[in-house]
Structure 1
Amino acid sequence: MTAQYFAPVASPQTPRSAFADRHIGPAGDERSRMLAAIGYSGADALIDEAVPAGIRTSRPLALPPALSEPAALARLRELADKNTVLTSMIGLGYHGTHTPGVILRNVLENPGWYTAYTPYQPEISQGRLEALLNFQTVVGDLTGLPVANASMLDEGTAAAEAMALAHRVGRRKEPGAFLVDADALPQTIEVIRTRAVPLGIEVVTADLSGGLPEGDFFGVLVQYPGASGAVRDLTPLVDAAHARDMQAVVAADLLALTLLRPPGESGADIVVGSAQRFGVPFGFGGPHAGYMAVREGIQRQLPGRLVGVSVDVDGRPAYRLALQTREQHIRREKATSNICTAQVLLAVMASMYAVYHGPEGLAAIAQRAHGHAVRLAAGLRAGGVEVVHEHFFDTVFARVPGRAAEVVAAARAQGVNLRLADADHVGIACDETTTGEHVAAVWRAFGVEGVEGVPAGDALEFVRRESPYLTHPVFHAHRSETAMLRYLRRLQDKDIALDRSMIPLGSCTMKLNATTEMEPITWPEFANIHPFAPIDQAAGYVELIGELEGWLAEITGYARVSVQPNAGSQGELAGLLAIRGYHASRGEAHRNVCLIPSSAHGTNAASAVMAGMKVVVVKCDDGGNIDVDDLHAKIDKHGDALAAIMVTYPSTHGVFEETITDVCKAVHDAGGQVYVDGANLNALVGLARPGEFGSDVSHLNLHKTFCIPHGGGGPGVGPVGVREHLAPFLPSHPLRAEAGPQETGVGPISAAPWGSAGILPISWAYIAMMGPDGLRAATEGAIIAANYLAAKLAPHFPILYTGRDGLVAHECIADLRKITKETGITAEDVAKRLIDYGFHAPTLAFPVAGTLMIEPTESEDLAELDRFVDAMVEIRREIQAVADGTLDAEDNPLKNAPHTADCLVTEDWKHAYPRERAAYPLPSLREGKYWPPVRRIDQAYGDRNLVCSCPPPEAFED
């Protein structure tokens, strides 16, 4: 789409925009003071020294001049008005829903929820963890399985992960074959195929209505209800699968499970799907929360994140991420999944939808949708139209030989989109938003009069659900809007998000998510477009996506960009599959070795394995740089088998490596491709382009550099950019020829054609309002802020890795290993003590154990940076007091951090230091104190005693 919709505009030599001045925290005088503290008189001198000349771009960004905030909103309004919002009855896994206003305003539009980070520091994440535990409980109860994870990226990727999980837990060692229901969602089938090819798994589709076909399969996936709407009894199929030693996977509609017998009761091993219809708009395909639930015995192999219940040091229940939720960092090339970003914000919305409606409300919504479908079918039959399936939930599949296109066109003329299945069949999906008038319009489109006054009836009696669900009090206690509002506020207040303080997380770029950027995503013209609506109804989306892809290509120096990957991990996979496809097209499919530096993010190695590559680790030297001698040795050893190298630049160590162009040349000379991980692009925009200094492909984290908020651990967007020779191997989509190269593309990476299209207006607005000069200024600001913190902290905490002249890139690593050896105070102790100072901790123990990786971004002003410095310096004084013996080595504010208000007001204060030292180590904290809801959490206890659904209220009694 890039070339078709984007024409670069020369960058004018004008000052950065007013919006850029709002986005970039330090003002002119503050910026000068920061530079002076680093030892430079100006930004140009610092950048010239910090950023290697060999990677610097020779031309400015050819982007349109910056727009003001009103002008950007006006342009987005123009684009939105080019979309046409019709009533969608297409189905295929995407359904109309009403987002309760209290959830729309107080979750989706609330920075207290959307600017939160992944809950790796659980003590300051109890609110979002409780919401995710509610989500897991909803999924577990409705599917009838004991353990569900905290969300997946979408239904298609959840199904692909289920295939991999089924293979893992089976007894076969060879790749084998996986059987898929022909009535599964077409996008799900193709995402499974994309993921299966590099793993050597054969995917076989078959009509399962008559039972299992002959063949040796390790697993089977069945859609419930099917894409055509058909509902069948799962039990015979699951029993037959188990009799043949197959894992049974069910892709199920959560709303339907309020009425249908849950798959777990039929013996399903794994259940996957989407929570989209629980209050989350279409968004032209996303973001939506996928889900996965599993049977007892395989929960410890569950991919993605799992929220569990543990206890804090006082024995009180507390939530935290459980088991292997960051296994890609621990197991790296042995990881079973590269899933990193989940869909937390959307899972929170879905969970709150269930909390708000409760089981009775959900059942009523489901029954209403089912009733409309039954009435619709009765009218069609009365008019002589054949309804294919006797048993269905909300989707009617009608047979009209040779007339399907005519019927769909007639419905569209009345404002309703139907599904054109083929020349003879039309699918009609009812949902929460369906009305009697919609049913009548469909009848008219078929040319029948319908039947008025027909009772709703029941097409599900043979598989009716009898078991209860959502019995926990949380799903019964918040029926009024007042109660719901206060529940949301109570959870929000337990957490630290970007609206409360800076979140100085290295490798994560927690920067300003401006309100103007966020505003358009809830406009109906963006929110209410079905991903498979006729493309002319999404003209505004197509134009916006084309412009954004073009801008990203210009920024990175690549020829083409695809926004389909809906997380950085998926972008990595897409880029590696493009490399794989390129080698295969040249008759070099044997190239399967991927070189990865030991400093790399854990998803890199996991992604390479998923792309069918063999990981070979390249050493780093004492300065954190790639060991060039070891690189050449590995290239010589693997020679003709070399497929690629994956390099993060600047490095995960926070350094601009001087040898990057030499590394690229060495790999290219050996016939390999260069993948530059774009996680740290915030240090490059406007200064350097990966596509110019030697990279062939990158993924870009829009939720880092380009301002899509993290949302507590998702949504994320991970577009992939490639040079011209890799463009034929970008992702494609079976239902959208416009989404990618159909003949040579690697297939869909995500379920929706353009991934999480609904949040792309955020990044579009950021780039449009920053303009070329503002984008460069933001990069300079990030580098200045990181070096300022490094300079201020270095006298107190050694900075582990630096480049030329002792400078860092956009982040720095504070090394506490020597301090720990001398005093017993660990990096974790410092992380927890920072909570008492009102801060989210930096990234803990990554990429080096015993360290804190700090990234301030360009958005924090000098006052906030200094507040963080003050906290770290005061913590260093506390550490010194431990070293001097003034504070006890075990009973001190660091070891006991964080301190809750409850522990401070107890009559039995047993500690040797005063309560005031615990609560108010700096006078400024008295002005606005954050009180953590729990004390330090016992992680090991939670893993030994795995509880991953809502505990009974009695668990919280003293």
Structure 2
Amino acid sequence: MERARRLAYRGIVKRLVNDAKRHRNPDTPHLVVPHAPARYVSSLSPFVSTHRSVNPTSAAAFGRHQQTRSISVDALKPGDTFPRRHNSATPDEQSYMAKFCGYDHIDSLVDATVPKSIRLGSMKFSKFDDGLTESQMIQHMVDLASKNKVFKSFIGMGYYNTHVPTVIIRNILENPAWYTQYTPYQAEISQGRLESLLNFQTVITDLTGLPMSNASLLDEGTAAAEAMAMCNNIQKGKKKTFVIASNCHPQTIDICKTRAGGFELNLVTADLKDVDYSSGDVCGVLVQYPGTEGEVLDYAEFVKNAHAHGVKVVMATDLLALTVLKPPGELGADIVVGSAQRFGVPMGYGGPHAAFLATSQEYKRMMPGRIIGVSVDSSGKPALRMAMQTREQHIRRDKATSNICTAQALLANMAAMYAVYHGPAGLKSIAQRVHGLAGAFSLGLKKLGVAEVQELPFFDTVKIKCSDAHAIADAATKSEINLRVVDSNTITASFDETTTLDDVDKLFKVFASGKPVPFTAESLAPEVQNAIPSSLTRETPYLTHPIFNMYHTEHELLRYIHKLQNKDLSLCHSMIPLGSCTMKLNATTEMMPVSWPSFTDIHPFAPVEQAQGYQEMFQNLGDLLCTVTGFDSISFQPNAGASGEYAGLMVIRAYHMSRGDHHRNVCIIPVSAHGTNPASAAMCGMKIITVGTDAKGNINVEEVKKAAEDNKDKLAALMVTYPSTHGVYEEGIDEICNIIHENGGQVYMDGANMNAQVGLTSPGFIGADVCHLNLHKTFCIPHGGGGPGMGPIGVKKHLAPFLPSHPVISTGGIPQPENTEPMGTIAAAPWGSALILPISYSYIAMMGSGGLTDASKIAILNANYMAKRLEKHYPVLFRGANGTVAHEFIIDLRGFKNTAGLEAEDVAKRLMDYGFHAPTMSFPVSGTLMIEPTESESKVYILICKSLTDSFFSQCINLMDK
């Protein structure tokens, strides 16, 4: 016991000493440790004094200390600084760990690791350079939120207000046990979220009437583009025309146009009655159900006609509408896409939202994204697993049919729980109420006689013909209402779960232009007729599984959520040391604004002047990221890493085409690149040339040079990850960039490992022309069990005019030189998943330039310290020129197969037995583990006496007295 007490006390004193060192001022006296036996502390530090004769509680002692003590400036500074909460290693720990690695200081280790030729002198921000404190950050976000104006939205177009059940907000959206999980590659520690995602798939298959669904996609527009690619693949690329009906959402049409360019598809937009298959070249057709202007059409004959010509039918739809409308599967649709946003996920100025894609069993191997399936475990019990499907780009590379690398799992889980909470009867009740309010509005306008109401069937959107649509919209704005102006004589009003009878009465007043309204919406209720014809009324039951019929009280749902949560491993439970995927602290202060109504309840197509808080944040965050990356412009539209890859390459493609270099289509990609890189390049219509690596895992510069020179007339781009996927800062990266530029190409840098560059170097400084940023890795947006992600791209000045545009809301501000056009639309919302940008913004603003630079240094330190600890037992596969690793490293387990019959998978599974998430397995080298500790994981201290939990001083004194 004496030894235990002594060791415990030493640990406590050391913590106190470290605190004293961090805050010591030359003018302050030594720290006094009360009742400390001299033999325990005499050799610990000159900061500690053992004057036991002094009783710090006596008035005399207090007076004597007061006479000799002065208050330092540091003591008056705010105490809630953020970097010390994020960057785990204390100065003492940094010194110890650096020396363990063979260096006298962390800076010496960093100098030995990052090549001098690419080192920045320093990084300085024009704003937030010193970093805001946590309380200052909250106040800053409050100020930004106050600049957003939340008007009642009737815009529709795929985005609707919804009542997010507070039990779901508190226990999923705001719960780190749900938002910090990683993609469920390890099914054993993911059974909870896998069940929830299976629930999501069940919602989609039941409501669409098709048997197969994925576990979510990025948004409705990109899901439609994926469906278009499926139609092309189904026809084996032999039919090169895809038709989009003009009743689809404009953002969906533009996304498909952009995607069609890379596939060399001929995209035709046509009115439904004008769709023509006579060329024999049409692979598919996309229609909207209900249409973008509200009409509900019977597509049964349209589908039969398309099938008669060998054409596949894609139907974009609305889940809430499908609770009362005949499902697309019964109308004959081959693929159904849409968004689950209105199932309890806030609009958030555009995202993140879970999209979906459903199809038949026949096409399941062509589906993008992930599918959750029911399997059995080793003991024969039912278990869940994740089927990778076309996500297997690491194997299929440029032959992969999709580059999808992430999903919107967190939002899919919210939508699934919304369906569980309300059940089939509750969902139908919500839909009927929405339809009834739209019907009351339509009837009221007819009675007023001030406008012509469309007579076609509708669900939630009423189309109105009037003499001056803009005047009516302006009058509505004065009443804090947003309507959709289709053209100068057409307006639509879309109703949702949050609409009230009061709101309908306000609309009547707007359309009455000051004239008295002789009725109320409530008084019209008895006269409102169902606008949906019997031929399109749903008769098929849905959500019949017990899961959707047993958790309808908050108590029941709360227990179900926690039952699933307890089956998973998240950052709440353990470190997730995934090389290449960077799982680190998602701080609470960063997350708080995500659930504030001033950010959640804004429609992405609301007038920009109503979202000035968002716009100011975009400007500030863009400036910060430009400084971090060394680029000149940023686009926030790509809403995932793979989407950012695709966007960056499409910008390069548009740049070459603007110069008349249509023939530049060769993309050089090292074998060590991320698996999504070849798939993204193929989606842009590029020809991939692969170059190898040398014995040390570095890109073979001579191979790059030869490939570039052999293709100098056709070279479009190089795709490179830095530091490399092998966990090394390659010495020749600047030379490689020069080679590409000398041969007419552009350099795309994969930003997956940007967290090892921030403050030390930058893509722009190294020589890259464009780079995507995984905000969910480097800049702390949580992974959410497989999404959301965010993949904005930064570009050099010459590429800025080609950044993504949008058909509804301008994302401009960049002058367009003559004969140049933006590369097109990448995501459904102008600024992608805008609601999660406050997370990265808060992280950068609180860290400041110094904190971010320290984060990179500590990430390198932690990786090297861990590699050093492990190297005697496991070979470290790749190292830099001076024998160090970057922010991650690979240990080689292949030898164990011969000596012990063990595979890397066996090691991974055994780690899970002990409550650890396994590192990245068999990527980028089979039979290995890639480990990344990140900067926010602490050096472990083992405390022998576990009772010291409340107060260092009181527990210490009690222990020593005993």
Q: TM-score, normalised by structure 2?
A: 0.87
Instruction: Say yes or no: does 1:237 pair with 2:310.
Output: no
Indicate which of 495, 498, 504 corresponds to 1:439. Answer: 504
Work out whether residues 733 and 740 of structure 1, in 8 Å CA contact, stay in contact via their aligned partners in 2.
no
Listed one character per residue, the Cα deviations across residues 40-63 of structure 1 (whole Å, up to 9, x for unaligned) are 111110111000001111342234
Aligned to 2:630: 557
Indicate which of 520, 538, 545 corresponds to 2:593. Answer: 520
Work out whether residues 16 and 770 of structure 1, in 8 Å CA contact, stay in contact via their aligned partners in 2.
no
Work out whether residues 560 and 727 of structure 1, in 8 Å CA contact, stay in contact via their aligned partners in 2.
yes
Work out whether residues 391 and 402 of structure 2, in 8 Å CA contact, stay in contact via their aligned partners in 1.
no
Instruction: Determine helix, strand or coil for the equivalent of 1:280.
Output: coil
Indicate which of 381, 387, 399 corresponds to 1:322. Answer: 387
Work out whether residues 739 and 753 of structure 1, in 8 Å CA contact, stay in contact via their aligned partners in 2.
no
Partner Cα distance (1:771, 1:130) in 2: 40
Instruction: Determine helix, strand or coil for the equivalent of 1:754.
Output: coil
Instruction: Say yes or no: does 1:764 pair with 2:841.
Output: yes
Deviation of 1:96 (Å): 0.7
Instruction: Determine helix, strand or coil for the equivalent of 1:57.
Output: coil
Aligned to 1:912: none
Aligned to 1:715: 788
Work out whether residues 15 and 773 of structure 1, in 8 Å CA contact, stay in contact via their aligned partners in 2.
no
Partner amino acid for 1:835?
M
Aligned to 2:261: 197
Aligned to 2:107: 44
Partner Cα distance (2:213, 2:79) in 1: 48
Listed one character per residue, the Cα deviations across residues 233-289 of structure 1 (whole Å, up to 9, x for unaligned) are 121111111011000000000110000000001111000000000000010000000
Partner amino acid for 1:281?
P
Listed one character per residue, the Cα deviations across residues 308-342 of structure 1 (whole Å, up to 9, x for unaligned) are 11111101111111152532121011111111110
Indicate which of 115, 123, 129 corresponds to 1:60. Answer: 123
Deviation of 1:747 (Å): 1.2
Deviation of 1:615 (Å): 0.7
Instruction: Determine helix, strand or coil for the equivalent of 1:617.
Output: strand
Partner Cα distance (1:860, 1:572) in 2: 29
Q: Pick closer, same or farther for the CA change 1:155–1:923 going to 2, 3 Å.
A: farther
Partner Cα distance (1:328, 1:67) in 2: 41
Work out whether residues 296 and 458 of structure 2, in 8 Å CA contact, stay in contact via their aligned partners in 1.
yes
Partner Cα distance (1:220, 1:635) in 2: 40
Aligned to 1:819: 896
Aligned to 2:176: 111
Work out whether residues 176 and 571 of structure 2, in 8 Å CA contact, stay in contact via their aligned partners in 1.
yes
Partner Cα distance (1:325, 1:336) in 2: 6
Instruction: Determine helix, strand or coil for the equivalent of 2:112.
Output: helix
Partner Cα distance (2:275, 2:94) in 1: 70
Instruction: Say yes or no: does 1:534 pair with 2:607.
Output: yes
Deviation of 1:674 (Å): 0.6
Query: More deviation in 22-31 or 587-596?
Result: 22-31
Aligned to 2:859: 782
Instruction: Determine helix, strand or coil for the equivalent of 1:863.
Output: coil
Q: Pick closer, same or farther for the CA change 1:202–1:830 going to 2, 3 Å.
A: same
Aligned to 1:391: 457
Work out whether residues 599 and 651 of structure 1, in 8 Å CA contact, stay in contact via their aligned partners in 2.
yes
Q: Pick closer, same or farther for the CA change 1:167–1:16 going to 2, 3 Å.
A: farther
Partner Cα distance (1:209, 1:363) in 2: 32
Instruction: Determine helix, strand or coil for the equivalent of 1:510.
Output: coil
Aligned to 2:33: none
Indicate which of 797, 801, 806 corresponds to 2:883. Answer: 806
Partner amino acid for 2:913?
D
Work out whether residues 380 and 387 of structure 1, in 8 Å CA contact, stay in contact via their aligned partners in 2.
yes
Query: More deviation in 31-40 or 283-292?
Result: 31-40
Aligned to 2:539: 466
Partner Cα distance (2:807, 2:227) in 1: 21
Deviation of 1:413 (Å): 1.2
Instruction: Determine helix, strand or coil for the equivalent of 1:198.
Output: helix
Instruction: Say yes or no: does 1:858 pair with 2:935.
Output: yes
Deviation of 1:416 (Å): 1.2
Work out whether residues 162 and 342 of structure 2, in 8 Å CA contact, stay in contact via their aligned partners in 1.
yes
Q: Pick closer, same or farther for the CA change 1:258–1:690 going to 2, 3 Å.
A: same
Query: More deviation in 252-261 or 199-208?
Result: 199-208
Aligned to 2:227: 162
Partner Cα distance (1:439, 1:210) in 2: 36
Instruction: Determine helix, strand or coil for the equivalent of 1:26.
Output: coil
Partner amino acid for 1:574?
A
Instruction: Say yes or no: does 1:208 pair with 2:272.
Output: yes
Deviation of 1:805 (Å): 2.2
Deviation of 1:923 (Å): 14
Work out whether residues 161 and 342 of structure 2, in 8 Å CA contact, stay in contact via their aligned partners in 1.
yes
Give the superposed CA RMSD: 1.8
Indicate which of 98, 117, 137 corresponds to 1:35. Answer: 98
Indicate which of 843, 847, 868 corresponds to 2:924. Answer: 847
Instruction: Say yes or no: does 1:222 pair with 2:287.
Output: yes
Instruction: Say yes or no: does 1:674 pair with 2:747.
Output: yes
Q: Pick closer, same or farther for the CA change 1:472–1:450 going to 2, 3 Å.
A: farther
Partner Cα distance (2:798, 2:613) in 1: 29
Deviation of 1:804 (Å): 2.1
Partner amino acid for 1:208?
L
Partner amino acid for 2:471?
E
**What stretches of structure 2 of length at least 5 have no aligned partner?**
1-76, 950-962
Q: Pick closer, same or farther for the CA change 1:567–1:141 going to 2, 3 Å.
A: same
Partner Cα distance (1:481, 1:838) in 2: 30
Instruction: Determine helix, strand or coil for the equivalent of 1:721.
Output: strand
Query: More deviation in 756-765 or 35-44?
Result: 35-44
Instruction: Determine helix, strand or coil for the equivalent of 1:594.
Output: strand
Partner Cα distance (1:292, 1:573) in 2: 20
Listed one character per residue, the Cα deviations across residues 45-99 of structure 1 (whole Å, up to 9, x for unaligned) are 0111000001111342234221000001111111110000011110000001000
Aligned to 1:919: none
Aligned to 1:650: 723
Work out whether residues 17 and 770 of structure 1, in 8 Å CA contact, stay in contact via their aligned partners in 2.
no
Q: Pick closer, same or farther for the CA change 1:210–1:690 going to 2, 3 Å.
A: closer
Indicate which of 448, 457, 461 corresponds to 2:529. Answer: 457
Partner Cα distance (1:42, 1:650) in 2: 22
Aligned to 2:423: 358
Query: More deviation in 281-290 or 457-466?
Result: 457-466
Work out whether residues 645 and 680 of structure 2, in 8 Å CA contact, stay in contact via their aligned partners in 1.
yes
Query: More deviation in 63-72 or 827-836?
Result: 63-72
Aligned to 1:260: 325
Partner Cα distance (1:151, 1:923) in 2: 47
Deviation of 1:520 (Å): 0.6
Partner Cα distance (2:529, 2:685) in 1: 51
Partner Cα distance (1:37, 1:541) in 2: 46
Q: Pick closer, same or farther for the CA change 1:451–1:233 going to 2, 3 Å.
A: farther
Work out whether residues 155 and 274 of structure 1, in 8 Å CA contact, stay in contact via their aligned partners in 2.
yes
Percent of counterpart pairs with the same letter? 56
Partner amino acid for 2:597?
P
Deviation of 1:301 (Å): 1.0
Instruction: Determine helix, strand or coil for the equivalent of 1:417.
Output: strand
Q: TM-score, normalised by structure 1?
A: 0.88
Q: Pick closer, same or farther for the CA change 1:33–1:373 going to 2, 3 Å.
A: same
Aligned to 1:414: 479
Partner Cα distance (2:226, 2:439) in 1: 34
Partner amino acid for 1:169?
I
Partner Cα distance (2:78, 2:645) in 1: 36
Instruction: Determine helix, strand or coil for the equivalent of 1:783.
Output: helix
Partner amino acid for 1:771?
G
Work out whether residues 17 and 67 of structure 1, in 8 Å CA contact, stay in contact via their aligned partners in 2.
no
Deviation of 1:181 (Å): 1.1
Instruction: Say yes or no: does 1:81 pair with 2:153.
Output: no
Higher-Rg structure is: 2
Partner Cα distance (1:821, 1:419) in 2: 67
Partner Cα distance (1:209, 1:703) in 2: 45
Aligned to 2:401: 336
Partner Cα distance (1:59, 1:497) in 2: 35
Partner Cα distance (2:277, 2:877) in 1: 60
Instruction: Determine helix, strand or coil for the equivalent of 2:361.
Output: coil
